[in-house]
Amino acid sequence: MTPQELAAQLARILTDIIGARAEVGIAVTPADTAVERPKNREHGDWASNAAMKFAKRIGANPRELAQEIAAAVAAVDGVAAAEVAGPGFINITLDAASAGETARRVVELGEAYGRSDMLAGQNINMEFVSANPTGPLHLGHTRWAALGDSISRVLRAAGAAVTNEYYINDAGAQMEKFGRSVLAAALGEPAPEDAYPGEYIQELGRKVVEQVPGLAELAANDRPAALAEAQEAAYQQQLVEIKDSLERFNVHFDVFFSERTLHTPGPDGEESPIAAAIDRLRAQGHVFEADDAIWVRTTDFGDDKDRVFTRGNGIFTYFAADAAYYLSKQDRGFGEKIYLLGADHHGYIGRLTAIAGAAGDDIETDITVLIGQLVNLNGARLSKRAGNIVELDDLLEWLGSDALRYWLARYPADSPLALDGEKLRSRTNDNPVFYVQYAHARTCAVDRNAAAAGIDRSAFEPGSLTHETETELLGKLQEYPGIVAGAAELREPHRIARYLEELAGAFHRWYDNCRVIPLGDEPVTDLHRTRLWLNDAAGQVIRNGLDLLGVSAPERL
């Protein structure tokens, strides 16, 4: 019996008790009766404070209500005992067979264990990284890539349809600066004063010369045309490099959305999406004109000031592009739009929320803006190519994708993060990713040794799993579906990582105390076969959890 199933039983029992008291208008859901692990395992497998939550609402004594609930819970199949403690806590102990059945359920469900349809029907757009295509990805982007991809994996595990989207900032002053920098490098000219630094610009210059053989002649006759050619060629090359880096980091994007398309008129002369956006916002009643400019009244939705869409010169602001981009997501059928932005983007929260409101969306449910904090990594060297940044590709070569993915997803997005590079590389139990992966490798070693000893899963006696470490391990396995659901609801994949460390600890303790392989001439029994089920269940859940973090589950270490 999982904690979710036990909570559902408690909700049904409490509903019946309330109904018998002729109370009306009080609904009880499993969320109201959620159970948790007691700190002292001598108090049982699970504990509930449901009686104390509802006693006052129905005019009952908490302890007396708890006793009434406990009596009903004790009669539920799979429950060995239900006792009342303190002012009204209900401590519940499952019988060994019921707890042991978890191992079979996990093995039979395999990759599906922990997945649910909690968010079924939700179509979510997850935008993250979105770095300017003017240089390689760096350490800051690395954190947003790990977090964003893990959040989307957790949301999918909860049943949501999620589209990972990268917004390519390929319009405006930064792109023009990038183009000038590359053209100068391609022509062997001194770099402009505001040029992007780094050897990668020189590399791009050399590649542009190969792709545009007549660039020097073109520049001599038509400098603007040469600049456009160089900028476009370098942009496409840099974008390919960004995509390759992300794929090596095990981060996949479904959509790369170009900002330039927002400024591009339709094929039949239709106005561009960014020009059309003002008409759509005007229709919502939130547009006004003042001081020779067109404004959107974003203060109606909590923004600190109204925003300019376009001034009298007809040039659109960055806000206009943001608004048109949001409307594009709305047009593509996304219900919730999640933005994961860097630490320097706090001002975007009110601005993006206001765009959602002006577009007619519900700002409580249709938009989520997550701000990630900065990260630094001791021992990391500045990129030889980029000069002034720690490049993702260098980090992958130094630390590997698994260590980076795990450590970056292990902490909440809003916590500043300082990591020790040598610790990430270490193969000791002090390194959480190694500790968890080692637990998985151990389950695989047990499988190999069991096969060699002729032990299989041909028998299963769940009631025999009574050792205290088996009870602990089974309890951790039961928690996994709830951990995934909570991580999805709160958009917090670090809950998966912390859970996996607890699960690995429980597995290691079990491994040290309970043998799957008999010693010496000791005969193979059904207990050994049953323990193989438990071993394989632990390995399956570790694999499932690591996959949600984009981390591999090696069979050997």
| Tokens (6 digits) for 51 | 């009686």
Give the per-residue pLDDT at 155. 98
Which one, of 168, 192, 162, 167, lies nearest residue 180 by Cα? 192
Distance in angstroms (rounded) separating the CA atoms of residues 288 and 281: 10
| Tokens (6 digits) for 518 | 């008999």
Only one residue has tokens 């974008």, namely 239
Write a three-state SS string for 214-252: CHHHHHHHCHHHHHHHHHHHHHHHHHHHHHHHHHHCCCC
CB atoms within 10 A of CB 271: 12
Distance in angstroms (rounded) separating the CA atoms of residues 514 and 507: 10
Which residue ranges of the chain lie beneath pLDDT 70? 22-25, 41, 382-384
| Mode of pairing for the β-strands spanning 89-94 and 79-85 | antiparallel
Cross-strand partners of 59? none
Residue pair 503/545 in contact (Cβ under 8 Å)? The answer is yes
Helix (H, G, I), strand (E, B) or coil at 402: helix
Angle in degrees, 0-180, between the axes of helices 3-20 and 468-490, rounded to the nearest 10 = 80
Q: Tell me what percent of the chain is helix, strand and coil, each rounded to the nearest 5.
A: 55, 10, 35
Cross-strand partners of 248? none
Helix (H, G, I), strand (E, B) or coil at 7: helix
Determine the Cα angle at 156 with ends 2 and 401, to 5°. Answer: 105
| Mode of pairing for the β-strands spanning 336-341 and 123-127 | parallel
Which one, of 272, 306, 302, 310, lies nearest residue 286 by Cα? 306
Give the per-residue pLDDT at 487. 97
Write the DSSP string, 326-348: HHHHHHTT-SEEEEEE-GGGTTH
Angle in degrees, 0-180, between the axes of helices 432-452 and 401-409, rounded to the nearest 10 = 120
Write the DSSP string, 488-541: HHHT-THHHHHHHHHHHHHHHHHHHH--SSPPTTPPP-HHHHHHHHHHHHHHHH
Distance in angstroms (rounded) separating the CA atoms of residues 114 and 4: 11
Give the per-residue pLDDT at 43. 77
Write a three-state SS string for 290-331: ECCEEEECHHHHCCCCCEEEEECCCCECHHHHHHHHHHHHHH
Which one, of 69, 2, 68, 81, lies nearest residue 35 by Cα? 2
Which one, of 40, 38, 99, 28, lies nearest residue 69 by Cα? 28
Give the per-residue pLDDT at 245. 97
Distance in angstroms (rounded) separating the CA atoms of residues 356 and 300: 11
The H or E element spanning position 474 is helix 468-490
Angle in degrees, 0-180, between the axes of helices 348-358 and 318-331, rounded to the nearest 10 = 50
| Tokens (6 digits) for 216 | 């020097």
What are the strands of the beta sheet with 46-48, ordered from one edge?
46-48, 89-94, 79-85
Residue pair 139/110 in contact (Cβ under 8 Å)? The answer is no
Q: DSSP label at 196?
A: P
- HSE at residue 1, side-chain half, CA atoms within 13 A, is 23
Which domains, ranges and CATH numbers included, belong to the chain?
3-94 (3.30.1360.70), 131-168+254-371 (3.40.50.620), 169-253+373-425 (3.40.50.620), 428-548 (1.10.730.10)
Distance in angstroms (rounded) separating the CA atoms of residues 419 and 432: 13
Dihedral class, residue 59 (left if φ above 0, else alpha if ψ from -120 to 50, else beta): left
| Tokens (6 digits) for 498 | 């912390």
Only one residue has tokens 């984009």, namely 550
Give the per-residue pLDDT at 23. 63
Which one, of 185, 170, 164, lies nearest residue 262 by Cα? 170
In tens, the pLDDT along 264-277 reads 998 888 899 999 99
